[in-house]
Amino acid sequence: MSKVLVIAEHDGAALNPSTAKCVACATTIDGAKIDIVVLGASVSGVASEAAGISPVARVLTVERAENEHAIAAVFAPQVAALADDYDYVFGPSTAFGKDLMPRVAALLGVNQVSDIMSVEGSHKFKRPIYAGNAIVTVEAPGDSKVVATVRTASYQAADGGNSAPIESTDVNVELPTHTRFVELQAGQSDRPDLQTASKVVSGGRALASEENFEMIFKLADTIGAGVGSSRAAVDAGYIAPETQVGQTGQIIAPDLYIAIGISGAIQHLTGIKDAGTIVAINKDEEAPIFEVADIGLVGDLFQIVPELTDALS
Amino acid sequence: MDKILVGLKRVVDYNVRVQVKSDGSGVETDGVKMSINPFDEIALEEALRIRERGDASEVIVVSIGTAEAQQQLRTGLAMGADRAILVETSDAIDALSGARVFKEIVDREGADMVILGKQAIDDDNSQTGQMLAAIWGRPQATFASEVVLDGDKAKVTREVDVGLETIEIDLPAVITVDLRLNEPRYVKLPDIMKAKKKPLDQIPLGDLGVTPGPAVNAVEFAPPEARQRGITVDDVAGLVSALKDKGLV
Ligand SMILES: Cc1cc2nc3c(=O)[nH]c(=O)nc-3n(C[C@H](O)[C@H](O)[C@H](O)COP(=O)(O)OP(=O)(O)OC[C@H]3O[C@@H](n4cnc5c(N)ncnc54)[C@H](O)[C@@H]3O)c2cc1C
């Protein structure tokens, strides 16, 4: 039997879908028995959500005032202590998991396997490197624990319908006070979240201003899509940073991705490799985005986008 | 604050379209342009700005690798670092050992802050900074897009998935930087000349008492599954009907 501990990601109110994707990855390990741990100040709601994920055996909760915010330096010693009973410790390759998991790995004296795309054996995994330009099969030492992040875009969330037992645990470790939460400025948006949206409309540098991005929002709202962007658009201040898609932004896998005025730099393409259908709208027929697009339309976005929005309304 | 350490990794330049060798043993690096990892340049720029504001007295750039990494360290010196340390090894080094090396240098130098890139664009691991903070027992502020120093504390704004998170950390600490923290300066010719005279120490990895491993070993490299170029439509009507055919709208 292989015991897997999945670290839940949540905001205190709701479980992040990345958790069910980590469970999906864990189920592909031979003989996996999967527990989820939820750290927080008060997590009963989140824990019952986690208990619904199949085929989770048990949900552990660690409730302490210090756990109100996900501070890696505070969470890591607790996770490392819990890891004693497990062969695998998995977290999502989101900002939360990327921050926390390497700190856990170092406390356990192992390297981390980053961004698992597939499980190839008990200690063998595939992962992307060079912005996804190469896929490497890696092997972690057979005699030590595997600490890993799961590339969430490679997995569909595990099914619900479970009702795993929830157990509260104490972890007796000293927690540092050297790192303190100050504030979170979350983007205000009623639009679908990029990680879970089935459709995403993205705008690039060609939009040329914050005002022009309204066009992207309109099209997105017309088809119920989330809104993404390229780094160039974010750097120019046209749109909020959390919308950036790519190597250093979000890695996403919607059914439909519409790239508008985006050239298709490798760093951007890394973020959409797993999209179902890619549509590219670009005035330059040589733009690299067309090499990966399922449907290409060459032309001026300022004409095409309003017309398209009308046609789909 | 006295000393800031900055890590500079020598990597394949971000403009290069990396190719996997046909025998699957690695990626092609022969004759390929090598540069400083772009995130590390941003890390160095931040350290230099802190020193230029008078909040630190010395910026030391550190690389782990072969003698060739001297090139990247010289570039770092030309940007304005005061001195450089090359920890020499011919073997690829795993993230945890890299973190241990930095910890040794931190101890030797008595550094107050370490600024690293949030990830290296070759292995895309994003581990070293967090691991260093763990074994050092100090704060980590990862994916930083703003750093505001305040005596022996710093407020760091981090790029997270839902927006921006601000945390306060006590120094010494490790900061890993995101792309929007700053725009690195260009190196001018006279600076390159000046950089040749700045100290660059070479320390064999063995002298630091760090033995690499156990690593997560690469077994085989393969190109990614390529997406195929699809159809081109002539106009909006064509696009709408193609989307309808696929049941997407
Ligand atoms: C370390 C590193 C990490 C990076 N990470 C990311 C990342 O995560 N995500 C990311 O996106 N980028 C990332 N980048 C940046 C990336 O290399 C590109 O610079 C960026 O993606 C370009 O954005 P863009 O396509 O919007 O702009 P451009 O490349 O300038 O493309 C604009 C496109 O718009 C088209 N266009 C112009 N006007 C019109 C019009 N009127 N109608 C239609 N089309 C028009 C042009 O033909 C062009 O193709 C990274 C770079 C580095 C070095």
pLDDT score for A110: 97
Residue B184 confidence (pLDDT) above 80: yes
pLDDT score for B18: 94
Q: How confident is the model at residue B158 (pLDDT cuts 50, 70, 90)?
A: very high
Ligand 1: residue whose CA is nearest its atom 35: A261
Residue of B nearest to A294 (CA): B230
Question: What is the percent of chain B with per-residue pLDDT over 90, rounded to a whole number?
Answer: 95
Q: How confident is the model at residue B116 (pLDDT cuts 50, 70, 90)?
A: very high
Contact B118, B95 (CB under 8 A): no
Put simply, the chain B residues between 102 and 141 with a CB less than 8 A from any chain A CB are: 118-119, 121-135, 137-141
User: Mean pLDDT, to the nearest integer, of A17-38?
Assistant: 98
pLDDT score for B7: 98
On the 0-12 / 13-18 / 19+ scale of CB atoms within 10 A, A275 is: buried
Residue A188 confidence (pLDDT) above 80: no
Query: What is the DSSP track for A158-185?
Result: PP------EEE---------SEEEEEEE
C-alpha dihedral, A93 to A22 to A147 to A252, nearest 10°: -20
Residue A51 confidence (pLDDT) above 80: yes
Residue B37 confidence (pLDDT) above 80: yes
Q: Which residues of A touch B13 (CB under 8 A)?
A: none
Q: Which two tokens stand for residue A303?
A: 């004409």
Coil/strand/helix, residue A71: coil
Residue of A nearest to B220 (CA): A137
Contact B221, A172 (CB under 8 A): no
Give the mutation target among A250, A263, A286 for probing the ligand 1 site: most ligand atoms within 8 A of CB: A263
User: Mean pLDDT, to the nearest integer, of B218-233?
Assistant: 94
Task: Calculate the alpha carbon distances from A305 to A50, A217, A253, A309, A312 in Å.
Answer: 41, 11, 22, 6, 11
Give, for B190, the enclosing helix (H) or strand (E).
helix B189-196
Tokens 């470790």 correspond to what residue? A173
pLDDT score for B90: 92
Task: Calculate the alpha carbon distances from A218 to A92, A103, A195, A242, A297 in Å.
Answer: 32, 42, 20, 19, 19
Tell me how far apart the alpha carbons of residues A153 and A125 are, in angstroms, rounded to a whole number: 15
Same fold, A2-168 and A199-312: yes
Coil/strand/helix, residue B119: coil
**Second-level CATH architecture of A2-168:** 3-Layer(aba) Sandwich (3.40)
Q: What is the mean pLDDT of chain B?
A: 96
CATH code at A199-312: 3.40.50.1220
Domain ranges of chain A: 2-168, 199-312
First to last CA, chain B: 58
Segments of chain B assigned E as strands: 3-7, 10-12, 34-36, 58-65, 83-88, 113-117, 140-150, 153-160, 163-170, 173-177, 200-204, 217-222, 231-233
Domain ranges of chain B: 3-245
User: Mean pLDDT, to the nearest integer, of A69-97?
Assistant: 98
Q: What is the mean pLDDT of chain A?
A: 97
pLDDT score for B92: 83
Residue B91 confidence (pLDDT) above 90: no
Tokens 């595939």 correspond to what residue? A126
Q: At the fourth CATH level, which superfamily is domain B3-245? A: HUPs (3.40.50.620)
Tell me how far apart the alpha carbons of residues A297 and B120 are, in angstroms, rounded to a whole number: 35
Tokens 């001195």 correspond to what residue? B83
* Residue in B178, B216, B249 closest to A312 by CB: B249
* Residue in B121, B131, B167 closest to A106 by CB: B131
Residue B127 confidence (pLDDT) above 90: yes
B44 Cα to the center of ligand 1, angstroms:
25
The closest alpha carbon to B7, from B86, B52, B61, B78, belongs to: B61
Q: How confident is the model at residue B214 (pLDDT cuts 50, 70, 90)?
A: confident
Coil/strand/helix, residue B160: strand
pLDDT score for A77: 98
Contact A59, A117 (CB under 8 A): no
Residues counted in chain B? 249
Q: How confident is the model at residue A277 (pLDDT cuts 50, 70, 90)?
A: very high
* Residue in B94, B95, B179 closest to A248 by CB: B179
ipTM score: 0.96
Coil/strand/helix, residue B230: coil
Q: Is the CB of A217 under 6 A from ligand 1?
A: no
Tokens 């000349």 correspond to what residue? B193
Region of A224 (left: φ > 0; alpha: ψ -120 to 50; beta: rest) is left
The closest alpha carbon to B39, from B97, B106, B126, B113, belongs to: B126
- For residue A292, the one-letter residue type is V
Q: How confident is the model at residue A17 (pLDDT cuts 50, 70, 90)?
A: very high
Tell me how far apart the alpha carbons of residues A224 and B248 are, in angstroms, rounded to a whole number: 11
Q: How confident is the model at residue A266 (pLDDT cuts 50, 70, 90)?
A: very high
Residue A131 confidence (pLDDT) above 90: yes
pLDDT score for A1: 83
| Interface membership of B24 toward A (CB under 8 Å) | no
pTM of the shown model? 0.95
Cis bond before residue B214 (omega within 30° of 0): yes
Residue of A nearest to B216 (CA): A140
Residues counted in chain A? 313
Contact A218, A203 (CB under 8 A): no
Task: Calculate the alpha carbon distances from B201 to A100, B86, B128 in Å.
Answer: 33, 6, 22
User: Mean pLDDT, to the nearest integer, of A12-33?
Assistant: 97
pLDDT score for B53: 97
User: Mean pLDDT, to the nearest integer, of B125-147?
Assistant: 98
Name residues whose C-beta falls within 8 Å of residue B243's C-beta, 6 or more positions apart in sequence. A256, A277, A279, A295, B249
Give, for B75, the enclosing helix (H) or strand (E).
helix B70-79
Give the mutation target among A262, A266, A289 for probing the ligand 1 site: most ligand atoms within 8 A of CB: A262
Contact criterion met (CB < 8 Å) for B229 and A292: yes
